[in-house]
Amino acid sequence: MRLLGLLLAGFVVLAATPAPAQDTAQTDVAQPSASRPVATATSPDGKLALAITINGEGRVGYAVSREGQPVIGESHLGFLFADSRQLLRNMELQGTSKSSKDESWQQPWGEWRSVRDHHNELVATFQEKDKLRRTMRVRFRLFDNAVAFRYEFPEQPNLKTANIVEELTQFRVVQPGEAWWAPAYESNREEYLYNHTPIDGIGTAQTPFTMRTRSGLHVAIHEAALIDYSGMNIARVQDGLLKASLTPSSSGPKVVRDTPFETPWRVILITPDAPSLYHANTVILNLNAPNKLGDVSWVKPRKYVGIWWGMHLDTQSWNSGPKHGATTAYAKRMIDFAAKNGFSGLLVEGWNKGWDGDWFATGDDFSFTEPYPDFNIREVSRYGLAKGVHIIGHHETSANIINYESQLPAALDFARSLGIDSIKTGYVSDAGGVQAPGPNGGRVFEWHEGQVMSRHHLKVVTEAAKRQIAINAHEPIKDTGLRRTYPNWIAREGQRGMEYNAWGEPKNPPHYDTELLFTRMLAGPMDFTPGILSLMGRGNTPIPSTLARQLAYYVTIYSPIQMAADLPENYEANPGPFQFIKDVAVDWDDTRMLAGSVGDYAVIARKERGKPTWFLGGITDEEARSMTVPLSFLEPGRRYRAEIYSDGDDADFRTNPRSIAIEQRTVRSTDSLPVRLAAGGGIAVRFVPLGR
Ligand code: NOJ
């Protein structure tokens, strides 16, 4: 009774404006007439309520409310096909089924050791009433902090192959509010600063992106389990009406699949505040299939250094010549530095033939088995392994997957033979510039987030898994939680990392990082490459950050692989702050965002995996902030030595970025920590357990 009341309360509001159902565009924008809920469900805590609807035209829709307040108004579902009539109208409900699940599962590595999957499921099967009688199932899952659904197409005579031109999935955001979103389909792929606009100012956005409605609800739209399908962006139609926009393909239809098949999950995270939105990212993992790789103890979270930042500063080069970074001698020096300071990985870029000439333009020349003559890869790998430092392979492909796939087995075998257990891949090219095999041995151009690339990345990840190699993809397809199924997919880039602070303008402004945490970071780990203690980019241009903020990134921006990205000489010149980078953990039992506001600030505490040590990191935007954080996450009754790295009293990222205060004090779980963040600043703390 209560459920029906809540739903109808929401639904009546949504259906209040009747409109004639003749013209498609008008029907989409206005509220449909004569819609009726045909099935309902709630989240386990009863707060989120879903109504599945069919309107007078036989269009299937759904609506979501939270505590009786409409969140997503009636939004239609459907498909456009290249070779068959649209699947949109004339649908009738054939049946529904319900189930529930409350299970916890263990992450081999991650932000939480144990993840709870608690949801109610409602599956509705629809069939067209006319002669095609095509069938579509929609599987909804309601979590306490999200509603997700996916389409399932059983095998059927009138839909043997789905040539999908567009997915007609709508998200009608009822309340006005603000949004943080990065534009889709632009040349730099995922790497854009966020736009902060009213919801009705959204253009075409990448997912995940985040909204805060007038009532304070936090709503983020993303997808989960993007397998053999094209990535979903979101375009605004009018007012708060948003719709799916699938990434194009060179072949015409954006997705081609034989039935039976299922789409990725469409996910709407809905939470009362920003910290709970951050925690809701476990939903993305819960919607992915369990680990398919079995024992993955060979996947090692780690901190690493690299022959890398010098290239971005332009003091070293990837290509051969006098500035070549990847030389045997320099790699050995880097291994010595890594071993001395406890880093177990060394990324070596520019080790292989193919960087000379215009590598960005074609990528045809890259070899993934032939090192440059001044880099003795066998000797370097042996030298590293003897000191406990693994070479991290680098496969920059220039998004030429024709060349890469033709060498893939040999490239991975070669890496394995050297003891390389993780590889950073790279797909540098403009958006739409992926070179893929075309018909008759030809070449076609694809998008980084299209169906072809969803297949390509899984091929690389599964081939690598056979050889016990982890993959960290740059210029990747977006993260949709597939690390659960393939835990060797250890991280990716997929937004503007630290390298933007090496290059020209604009660098990453402080508010970018505090937006990143509530957008891109909902998707999964990011290889952000922090720790630039020089605070200087190319040509000694200042990086918009304080020193303490560089340390705070290790806790705030999650990745199981974290780079100490600066040059060794800059670490040697800053032994105080460097100590935190040496000490910080990369794998966690528990994660809690203690305070946060989208685009403004965030403070996160994480407990080291398998150890009683806690870490805390906090960052702010351009505004200085002070707050007090209760330490109630610490074990009661225990004393801890808090090693605190905070902005100095006079710190400011513009005028005094290097001012840092490093102090120690003894604390207990009943204490509170004063957190003072300078403009563009941060805080980093290690809590080392002492006696009782
Ligand atoms: C862009 C990547 O993000 C960066 O880390 C890498 O060094 C270059 N591509 C070259 O592969």
Give, rounded to a whole angstrom, the gap between the first and last alpha carbons of the chain. Answer: 53
pLDDT at 556: 99
Ligand 1 centroid vs 474 CA: distance in angstroms?
Answer: 7
- Going by pLDDT thresholds of 50, 70 and 90, the confidence category of residue 360 is confident
Residue type, 228: D
The CATH homologous superfamily for domain 495-692 is Aldolase class I (3.20.20.70)
Ligand 1 centroid vs 502 CA: distance in angstroms?
Answer: 12
Minimum-distance ligand 1 atom for the alpha carbon of 396: 11
Across the range 354-377, mean pLDDT stands at 94
Minimum-distance ligand 1 atom for the alpha carbon of 529: 5
Report whether pLDDT(11) > 50: no
Sheet holding 390-396, edge to edge: 489-492, 470-474, 422-426, 390-396, 345-348, 302-307, 561-563
CA dihedral over 210, 213, 218, 223, signed as positive or negative:
negative
pLDDT at 14: 39
pLDDT at 33: 57
- Cβ count near 207 (within 10 Å): 27
- Ligand 1: residue of 319, 349, 424 to mutate (most ligand atoms within 8 A of CB) is 349
Report whether pLDDT(18) > 60: no
C-alpha to C-alpha distance for 405 and 463, rounded to whole angstroms: 11
Closest CA to 533 of 423, 621, 660: 660
C-alpha to C-alpha distance for 236 and 160, rounded to whole angstroms: 32
Report whether pLDDT(7) > 50: no
Residue 29 in 3-state DSSP?
helix
pLDDT at 57: 95
C-alpha to C-alpha distance for 318 and 310, rounded to whole angstroms: 10
Report whether pLDDT(125) > 80: yes
pLDDT at 84: 96
- Ligand 1: residue of 319, 348, 359, 396 to mutate (most ligand atoms within 8 A of CB) is 396
C-alpha to C-alpha distance for 404 and 494, rounded to whole angstroms: 20
Which residues on adjacent β-strands are paired with residue 91? 128
**Measuring from atom 2 of ligand 1, which residue has the nearest CA?**
474
**Would you say 366 and 411 are in contact if contact means Cβ atoms under 8 Å apart?**
no
Ligand 1 centroid vs 396 CA: distance in angstroms?
Answer: 8
Ligand 1 centroid vs 178 CA: distance in angstroms?
Answer: 33
Q: At what angle do helices 377-386 and 328-341 cross, to 10 degrees?
A: 10
C-alpha to C-alpha distance for 545 and 537, rounded to whole angstroms: 11
Domain map (residue ranges) of the chain: 2-286, 495-692
Closest CA to 493 of 465, 468, 457: 457
- Going by pLDDT thresholds of 50, 70 and 90, the confidence category of residue 362 is confident
pLDDT at 9: 39
CATH number of this structure's domain 2-286 = 2.70.98.10
Residues 64-88 pLDDT 10s: 999 999 999 999 999 999 999 999 9
- Ligand 1: residue of 311, 360, 499 to mutate (most ligand atoms within 8 A of CB) is 499
C-alpha to C-alpha distance for 186 and 48, rounded to whole angstroms: 35
Q: Distance of CA 144 to CAs 70, 117, 269, 412, 457, Å?
A: 16, 10, 9, 42, 32
- Ligand 1: residue of 474, 492, 532 to mutate (most ligand atoms within 8 A of CB) is 474
Ligand 1 centroid vs 424 CA: distance in angstroms?
Answer: 9
Residue 553 in 3-state DSSP?
helix
C-alpha to C-alpha distance for 509 and 515, rounded to whole angstroms: 10
Sheet holding 60-66, edge to edge: 36-42, 48-54, 60-66, 69-76, 170-173, 241-246, 232-238, 204-205
pLDDT at 692: 83
**Measuring from atom 10 of ligand 1, which residue has the nearest CA?**
396
| Residue for token pair 């707060």 | 47
* Positions marked catalytic: 499
Report whether pLDDT(148) > 50: yes
Share of the chain above pLDDT 90, in %: 94
Ligand 1 centroid vs 134 CA: distance in angstroms?
Answer: 46
Ligand 1 centroid vs 148 CA: distance in angstroms?
Answer: 34
C-alpha to C-alpha distance for 424 and 393, rounded to whole angstroms: 6
Ligand 1 centroid vs 323 CA: distance in angstroms?
Answer: 17
Q: Distance of CA 118 to CAs 108, 221, 625, Å?
A: 20, 19, 36
**Measuring from atom 6 of ligand 1, which residue has the nearest CA?**
426
- Ligand 1: residue of 428, 472, 526 to mutate (most ligand atoms within 8 A of CB) is 428
pLDDT at 398: 98
Average pLDDT score over the chain: 95
Report whether pLDDT(105) > 90: yes
Residues 512-566 pLDDT 10s: 999 999 999 999 999 999 999 999 999 999 999 999 999 999 999 999 999 999 9
Minimum-distance ligand 1 atom for the alpha carbon of 308: 7
In Å, the largest CA–CA distance within the chain is 77
Across the range 450-468, mean pLDDT stands at 98
Ligand 1 centroid vs 493 CA: distance in angstroms?
Answer: 10
Helix (H) or strand (E) holding 169: none
Minimum-distance ligand 1 atom for the alpha carbon of 318: 10
Residues 633-666 pLDDT 10s: 999 999 999 999 999 999 999 999 999 999 999 9
Helical segments of 395-435, H only = 401-417
- Cβ count near 637 (within 10 Å): 9
Cα dihedral 163, 168, 171, 172 in deg (nearest 10): 180
Ligand 1 centroid vs 534 CA: distance in angstroms?
Answer: 20
- Going by pLDDT thresholds of 50, 70 and 90, the confidence category of residue 28 is very low
Q: Which has more confidence, 26 or 507?
A: 507
**Measuring from atom 11 of ligand 1, which residue has the nearest CA?**
396
| Residue for token pair 């009539």 | 85
Ligand 1 centroid vs 547 CA: distance in angstroms?
Answer: 24
Which residues, judged by CB distance below 6 Å to any ligand atom, belong to the binding site of ligand 1? 308, 349, 396, 426, 428, 474, 493, 499
Minimum-distance ligand 1 atom for the alpha carbon of 394: 11
Residue 485 in 3-state DSSP?
coil
Does 495-692 match 2-286 at the fold level? Answer: no
